[in-house]
Chain A
Amino acid sequence: MNTTLVVILALAAGTYAFRLVGPVLHGRVTVPPRVQELASAGAVVLLVALLATGALTESGGFAGWARPTGVLVGAALAWRRAPFAVVVLAAAVTTAVLRGVGVG
């Protein structure tokens, strides 16, 4: 069989297995409220870590100033309860403009 196809199938099977953990365990074992609580908190912790590393780093190094500045503008707007669309577009436009004027 084609090596690339094997890579795709192995990656797909492993990823789907990870994704099934929650739905398969749910209802089969009684999850204590404490564990449920930790799972919800864990999801937020993961998402914040994702956004922090995604905003600041690229291939293990600093991502440059344009991206984190854009994210910071979006975050400030989100903090002021600006509409979702405004938050996301402001972040992208800020970064695009900074890159346009030569900020990395």
Chain B
Amino acid sequence: MRSPHRTTPAPGTDRSLLRDSSLVWLASGIVGVSFGAVSVAGGLPLWVPVLMSLLVYAGSAQFSAVGVLLAGGGPVAAVATGLLLNTRTAAFSLAVAEIIGTNRATRFLGAHLVTDETVAFALAQSDPVRQRRAFWISGLGLFAVWNTGVLAGGLAGSALGDTARYGLDAAFPAVLVALVLPALRADATVRRCALLGAALALTATPAVPAGVPVLLALTGLALHRRPTDRGAAA
């Protein structure tokens, strides 16, 4: 994001949050449309992508689960692959627990909104108030847009064609770059951990099941040592 790390919030913050969120919503909405279209075109009834998007609400896991189902891979493989991809949300939920809030209802609702994009969006903000607003604005909006997109795609079938044509697959990594860059700029220790983690994940990708490379990246945290706490376990 443009706002540098740890500065005072600028006026009109909600408008800039909405503006930046809306791009993520637009891109996710189109991916949602393609998820609905792929599922229905593959032969699944409309309720499958729609219900899955409401209850599972995790793009990569949904694509992999439907992929396994359509390939005839069996229910256990479909669930296992999806869950493996989603283990990272446990780590994300720890990182944003404070941001979500302490109220019981807020925690149970907020937990369901924990996704890569929303976590990145919230953590990229400069102060706690803005972080909370960013989490809820981008999270609720993303949930609405994703599910609407899936329903629309399921109804439209395969009319949209191959979404790779629109370059959307490049938009998502770019969203994440823009969101994590301030944190990487501000903190050399985090930068070292992230670079090692990404290198490990890339190296492991050809050899291990989907979902595992990103988890392996967490071993990059071994480099996370402050000068003051040498000897503390990382």
B residues 62-95 touching A (CB-CB < 8 Å): 65, 69, 75, 78-79, 82-83, 86-95
Q: Mark A30-44, 1 if CB is under 8 A from B, else 0.
A: 000010111111111
Asked if A11 and B65 make an inter-chain contact with CB atoms under 8 angstroms apart, the answer reads: yes
Which of under 10, 10 to 19, 20 to 34, or 35 or more describes the interface residues of B? 35 or more
Instruction: Pick the contact of A75: B79, B102, B174, B202 (CB < 8 A).
Output: B174
Q: Does B114 contact A (CB under 8 A)?
A: yes
Asked if B201 and A19 make an inter-chain contact with CB atoms under 8 angstroms apart, the answer reads: no
Main SS of the interface on chain A?
helix
Q: Name which residue of chain B comes closest to A37, CB basis.
A: B224
Q: Does A27 contact B (CB under 8 A)?
A: yes
Q: Which residues of A contact B129 (CB under 8 A)?
A: none
Q: Which residues of A contact B96 (CB under 8 A)?
A: 22, 43
Asked if A27 and B114 make an inter-chain contact with CB atoms under 8 angstroms apart, the answer reads: no
Please judge, given known A-B contacts A48-B198, A53-B205, A74-B174, whether A34 and B229 are in contact too, CB under 8 Å: yes
Q: Name which residue of chain A comes closest to B51, CB basis.
A: A8
Asked if A44 and B90 make an inter-chain contact with CB atoms under 8 angstroms apart, the answer reads: no
Q: Name which residue of chain B comes closest to A93, CB basis.
A: B167
Asked if B205 and A57 make an inter-chain contact with CB atoms under 8 angstroms apart, the answer reads: yes
A residues 78-95 touching B (CB-CB < 8 Å): 78-79, 81, 83-85, 87-95
Q: Does A101 contact B (CB under 8 A)?
A: no
Give chain A nearest CB distance to B74 CB in angstroms: 9
Asked if A6 and B56 make an inter-chain contact with CB atoms under 8 angstroms apart, the answer reads: no
Q: Name which residue of chain B comes closest to A63, CB basis.
A: B169
Q: Does B41 contact A (CB under 8 A)?
A: no
Interchain residue pairs with CB less than 8 A apart (13):
A3-B75, A11-B52, A11-B61, A23-B110, A42-B95, A43-B95, A56-B202, A60-B205, A67-B167, A84-B1, A87-B174, A87-B178, A89-B171
Given contacts A11-B79, A19-B90, 8 further A-B contacts (CB under 8 A): A4-B75, A14-B79, A16-B112, A18-B93, A26-B97, A26-B100, A51-B172, A67-B173
